[in-house]
Structure 1
């Protein structure tokens, strides 16, 4: 089966009632859930997913950028595509595209991943486990999620505590939980973003108290999350 734009894997989803805002449109965090799910499905299908735990290796999402053209609604049928987009230095890149039922692009995303040893936490070379046909290290993409630094005028802050529902299989805060925190925090100032870039900087664990700070710089807003003096993530939204 051929896929558009050299994507390598596809999966269909339907937007559920539990995935939408009160306005009936999908939550950004729930869209990120779908991206994470298809990434794992693709990796498992080509033996560079959960099987890596047998050799004490795991993938860690380092950076993610999502651009939404049109938010899908409750009941919409979506077709998601994903594919490897090469590697550069210690990063492996994965791109996503989302179609609606009329095959119109409603969202795109790019992500960069690190391969870690589960015990030492040392970064491994991604090409050691990646199929060369899917992740050619000589073909790094032009679109790469940027390294971010919060800037602008401080606006407000909030404090949250990491709960059980925030955690993933490794007992760390799930990648999409950070996006949910950002989305909820911004909703309190009546702002729903359609584009987010996020850098994951440090692990968060059950019981951690995370201080969220909002900074505004022109059309951009930045949300920084810290546990004590340790920065755990920074996000830029539009």
Structure 2
């Protein structure tokens, strides 16, 4: 495979560590999302629309993320994450990811939508303010993470979780991958295994917030709701991996 396939603009190779895998030796979805997030930051920093925005009181907030895993990377495996801008639609900037093995096998794909937020006023800004046409064109990708509705599947279980300092990011909010860890833990408590995840981030969570996590599902898929005092903070859905 060429160095930058499918018009991707940046790549980074990682080795899956022992601390990133589940009891089967496969990378956890949360840890895969960590690598996607790190690749996005590195790409943004390399093109001056990453950490430099902090000086202008701007930040990127992940709004939606759709991850599809075809074959889970395993402990010790070297994988390459490709990423690139995939257009702008109104206030959303889209970023795609491709994860491949050393033999060019496609292991996972993901699409994400981001919002540019003023850190002081909390108002959403137009992404064209900081993004170049070269990296983020006006063309909208066919694959876009969709807006999720409230669960329609049967209720299964729920648990309460207090936000801990280890959940927080550099903005002192819950990191987007911490939500994914919560989802994996809740699904795992029902002995379910998922092969991907679509998540909508709706509101911020902060340290010591008490979040109610509710799981709904059937034999094919599951739906998860996170809320604080009745206020929805995220919605997620995932396909169930069959034995």
Q: Name the TM-score, length of structure 2 as normaliser.
A: 0.96
How far did residue 152 of structure 1 move?
Answer: 1.5
Match of 1:119 in 2: 120
Q: Secondary structure at the match of 1:53?
A: helix
In the TM superposition, what whole-angstrom CA distance separates every residue of 1:92-125 from its partner, at most 9, and x where no partner exists? 0000000011111000000000000001110100
Q: Residues 104-115 of structure 1: matches in 2 within 5 Å?
A: 104-115=105-116
How far did residue 229 of structure 1 move?
Answer: 1.1
In the TM superposition, what whole-angstrom CA distance separates every residue of 1:186-236 from its partner, at most 9, and x where no partner exists? 011111211100000000000011100011256221000001111010100
Is the CA contact 1:7–1:81 (under 8 Å) kept in the aligned structure 2? yes
Q: Secondary structure at the match of 2:19?
A: helix
How far did residue 2 of structure 1 move?
Answer: 4.8
Whether 2:154 is the aligned partner of 1:178: answer no
Is the CA contact 1:43–1:49 (under 8 Å) kept in the aligned structure 2? yes
How far did residue 151 of structure 1 move?
Answer: 2.0
Whether 2:197 is the aligned partner of 1:190: answer no
Match of 2:65 in 1: 64
Superposed CA RMSD: 1.0
Which has the higher mean CA deviation after the structures are superposed, 184-193 or 167-176? 184-193
Match of 1:96 in 2: 97
Q: Partners in 2 of 1:128 and 1:206 — Cα distance?
A: 31
Match of 1:223 in 2: 224
Q: Secondary structure at the match of 1:196?
A: strand
Is the CA contact 1:80–1:96 (under 8 Å) kept in the aligned structure 2? yes
Q: Secondary structure at the match of 2:183?
A: helix
Q: Residues 1-238 of structure 1: matches in 2 within 5 Å?
A: 2-137=3-138, 139-149=139-149, 150-216=151-217, 219-238=220-239
How many residues are paired up?
237
List structure 1 segments (4+ residues) > 2 angstroms apart after TM superposition. Answer: none
In the TM superposition, what whole-angstrom CA distance separates every residue of 1:6-26 from its partner, at most 9, and x where no partner exists? 000000000000000011000
Q: Partners in 2 of 1:74 and 1:48 — Cα distance?
A: 32
Could you tell me which runs of 5 or more consecutive residues in structure 1 were left unpaired when the two chains were aligned. none
